[in-house]
């Protein structure tokens, strides 16, 4: 039973009447979906796929929101041995042009055999296909619609092998859509079993609740594939509904006696400050075993805020756990806090910053220290080491790049042997994250690239800078974007500084507005801080490139203008 279809089949045969998913819907009662029903929905989609000649090995890109069609589209692909790839859905904020551009990039690299979407989205998908054809892409996917699902009797294929690609994971943004992480059934099952052991998963008593998007590893693996495959009931809420009504998740957790929930760091702050008291009146979360903080820098302060706010509902500090994960390892690399409190390390701030050494202060020394939250210990089957620029292993407490080797690594970036080769060094996968090991615990300190993580979404500053330069009034090549950690929201905010010669107040306001709109509609994030600077304010490197770190420091010490 080491393939997804075999696992689903076993559940249907042993516990077909057991609820696999409690699907939460806006303004409608919860929809319980049993394993038998899930298989019938999947079979309905599978028969559509097969009618179009889609079978083993075909990549099926799925553009659907949470609902029965999405469940059917994914598990239907699993049933016919195809490779599902769930893509982000177009949001009201994002411009259709930008979304189409990303989709064309995906069509060009991944070359899916089909795209499954709603009839309403068909015109958009057709435009993307036309654009792809215009760019000389010859292998175009067929378009299938799945507005509602006709259940059917499942046919169980027995020719699916452990090394077949089970699914593709893409991250959002134009860069992300060009790199699909291909994961074999073997890798997925090695991860599921190792991670289940790490979190002491018990299908008889556990229940997982999630609002996370399914195009991201934390949503797709920990909060979708893991519970359904291992027979743990899942309470599933759409991210669109959660962000509008975060209390809904807590209410549903209480109703279904949820025990586990994965959340990015900002979600702890968001729920602690945005949930109304009356909406959680009588909500009891004492059945919870663990909230798992994952996918963006984790803060002890966010845990404290959450525990303080919801202590009355039965939330306790012992439920706060941490995890370091990445799609390339299917999901988890480490897990902390399941058998005791999450370790907290307090190294000397200066040694960490200047010597890349997480040295502890000598007794009696009152020098400034940093509060570092451990990401936990490697799960079974995963080896972690810290390496320097030459790939040499570093000693305990020395900061370097986090490298890993495991039995659940990606098969490769799909159709990207170049990117796959680049990601490894001597058999070790280089994560691009910096960190150190101490007493077997992993502490993540930062990132190699200038990546900004906003609410769990990865954005590259260079993409934002190029977008900003398109706005009239901005001086060419004189823009910088960087992340600023915001204590209140528990995540990074995007800050943008643009040089301009405009001096008139009204024109400057219009420019700021133009920049804000441009970033909002053409990227996955919004720019919370937009500052205008006079010509030659930005610090450039000797090669003429904008120096992000230097400009960030300059902005913090002497902002170019007061944003009152």
Give the binding site for other proteins (CB under 8 A).
26-27, 92-93, 240, 243-248, 270, 274, 276, 279, 455, 505, 509, 512-513, 516-517, 520-521, 526, 528-529, 563-564
Q: Are 78 and 8 in contact (CB under 8 A)?
A: yes
How near is the Cβ of 482 to other proteins at its closest, in Å?
17
The set of long-range contacts for 310-315, using a CB threshold of 8 Å and a minimum separation of 24, is: 310/250, 310/271, 310/272, 310/280, 310/285, 313/250, 313/254, 313/280, 313/283, 313/284, 313/285, 313/286, 314/284, 314/285, 314/286, 314/287, 314/288, 315/285, 315/288, 315/291
How near is the Cβ of 217 to other proteins at its closest, in Å?
22
Report the alpha-carbon distance of residue 323 to residue 292 in Å, rounded.
7
How near is the Cβ of 528 to other proteins at its closest, in Å?
7
Task: Give the tokens for residue 140.
Answer: 């175009």
Nearer to other proteins, 213 or 227 (CB): 213
Nearer to other proteins, 425 or 517 (CB): 517
Report the alpha-carbon distance of residue 339 to residue 123 in Å, rounded.
52
Helix 505-522 to helix 461-469 angle, to the nearest 10 degrees? 130
Report the alpha-carbon distance of residue 278 to residue 258 in Å, rounded.
21
How near is the Cβ of 266 to other proteins at its closest, in Å?
9
How near is the Cβ of 520 to other proteins at its closest, in Å?
4
Run of H or E residues at 215? none
Nearer to other proteins, 228 or 271 (CB): 271
Q: Are 414 and 398 in contact (CB under 8 A)?
A: no
Nearer to other proteins, 164 or 493 (CB): 493
Nearer to other proteins, 358 or 459 (CB): 459
Chain-centroid distance, C-alpha 302: 18
Nearer to other proteins, 178 or 523 (CB): 523
Nearer to other proteins, 269 or 431 (CB): 269
How near is the Cβ of 504 to other proteins at its closest, in Å?
13
Question: Tokens 């009839």 label which residue?
Answer: 119
Any bridge partners for residue 183, and if so which?
167
How near is the Cβ of 69 to other proteins at its closest, in Å?
21
How near is the Cβ of 458 to other proteins at its closest, in Å?
17
Task: Give the tokens for residue 368.
Answer: 């400034």
Nearer to other proteins, 153 or 488 (CB): 488
β-pairing, 28-34 vs 19-25, is antiparallel
Q: Are 233 and 260 in contact (CB under 8 A)?
A: no
Distances (CA, A) of 161 to 57, 86, 157, 412: 11, 22, 10, 17
Nearer to other proteins, 149 or 212 (CB): 212
Report the alpha-carbon distance of residue 261 to residue 272 in Å, rounded.
15
Backbone angles phi, psi at 231, to 5 degrees: 80, 30
Nearer to other proteins, 23 or 423 (CB): 23
β-pairing, 377-378 vs 59-63, is unpaired
How near is the Cβ of 474 to other proteins at its closest, in Å?
17
Run of H or E residues at 208? strand 208-210
3 state SS for 365-420: CCCCECCEECCCEECCCEEEEEECCCCCECCCCECEEEEEEECCCCCEECCCHHHH
How near is the Cβ of 563 to other proteins at its closest, in Å?
6
How near is the Cβ of 211 to other proteins at its closest, in Å?
12
β-pairing, 382-387 vs 400-406, is antiparallel
């Amino acid at each position: 039973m080491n393939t997804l279809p075999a696992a689903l089949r076993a559940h249907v045969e042993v516990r077909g009447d057991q609820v696999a998913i409690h699907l939460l819907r806006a303004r409608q009662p919860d929809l319980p979906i049993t394993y038998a029903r899930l298989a019938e929905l999947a079979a309905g989609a599978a028969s559509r796929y097969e009618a179009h000649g889609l079978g083993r090995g075909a990549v099926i890109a799925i553009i659907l929101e949470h609902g029965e069609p999405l469940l059917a589209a994914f598990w239907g692909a699993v049933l016919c041995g195809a490779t599902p790839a769930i893509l982000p859905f177009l949001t009201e904020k994002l411009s259709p042009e930008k979304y189409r551009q990303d989709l064309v990039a995906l069509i060009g690299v991944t070359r899916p055999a089909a795209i499954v979407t709603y009839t309403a989205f068909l015109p958009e998908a057709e435009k993307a296909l036309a654009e792809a054809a215009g760019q000389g892409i010859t292998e175009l996917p067929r378009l299938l619609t799945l507005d509602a699902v006709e259940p059917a009797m499942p046919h169980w294929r027995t020719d699916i092998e452990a090394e077949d690609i089970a699914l593709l994971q893409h991250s959002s943004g134009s860069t992300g859509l060009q790199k699909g992480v291909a994961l074999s059934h073997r890798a997925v099952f090695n991860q599921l079993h190792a991670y289940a052991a790490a979190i002491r998963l018990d299908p008889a008593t556990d229940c997982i609740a999630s609002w996370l998007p399914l195009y991201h590893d934390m949503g797709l693996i920990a909060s979708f594939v893991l519970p359904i495959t291992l027979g743990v009931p899942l309470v599933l809420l759409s991210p669109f509904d959660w962000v509008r009504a975060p209390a809904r998740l807590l209410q549903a957790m209480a109703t279904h006696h949820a025990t586990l929930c994965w959340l990015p760091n900002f979600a702890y702050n968001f729920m602690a400050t945005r949930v109304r008291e009356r909406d959680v009146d009588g909500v009891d979360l004492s059945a919870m075993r663990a909230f798992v903080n994952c996918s963006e820098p984790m803060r002890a302060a966010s845990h404290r805020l959450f525990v303080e706010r919801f202590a009355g509902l039965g939330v306790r500090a012992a439920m706060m756990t941490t995890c370091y994960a990445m799609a390339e390892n299917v999901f988890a690399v480490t897990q902390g806090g399941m058998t005791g409190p999450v370790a907290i390390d307090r190294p000397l701030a200066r040694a960490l910053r200047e010597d890349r050494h997480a040295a502890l202060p000598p007794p009696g020394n009152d020098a400034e220290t940093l509060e570092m939250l451990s990401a936990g210990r490697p799960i079974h089957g995963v080896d972690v080491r810290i390496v320097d620029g030459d790939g040499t292993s570093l000693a305990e407490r020395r900061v370097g790049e986090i490298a890993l080797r495991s039995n659940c690594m990606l098969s490769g970036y799909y159709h990207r042997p170049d990117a796959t080769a680049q990601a490894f060094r001597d058999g070790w996968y280089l994560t691009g994250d910096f960190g150190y090991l101490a007493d077997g615990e992993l502490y993540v300190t930062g990132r190699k690239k200038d990546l900004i993580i906003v609410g769990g979404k990865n954005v590259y500053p260079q993409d934002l800078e190029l977008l900003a330069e398109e706005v009239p009034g901005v001086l060419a090549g004189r823009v910088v974007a960087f992340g600023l950690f915001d204590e209140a929201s528990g995540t990074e905010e995007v800050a943008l500084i643009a040089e301009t010669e405009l001096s008139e107040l009204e024109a400057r306001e219009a420019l700021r507005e133009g920049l804000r709109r441009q970033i909002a509609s053409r990227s996955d994030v919004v720019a919370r801080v937009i500052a205008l600077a006079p010509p030659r304010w930005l610090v450039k490197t000797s090669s003429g490139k904008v120096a992000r770190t230097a400009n960030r420091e300059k902005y913090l010490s002497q902002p170019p203008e007061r944003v009152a």
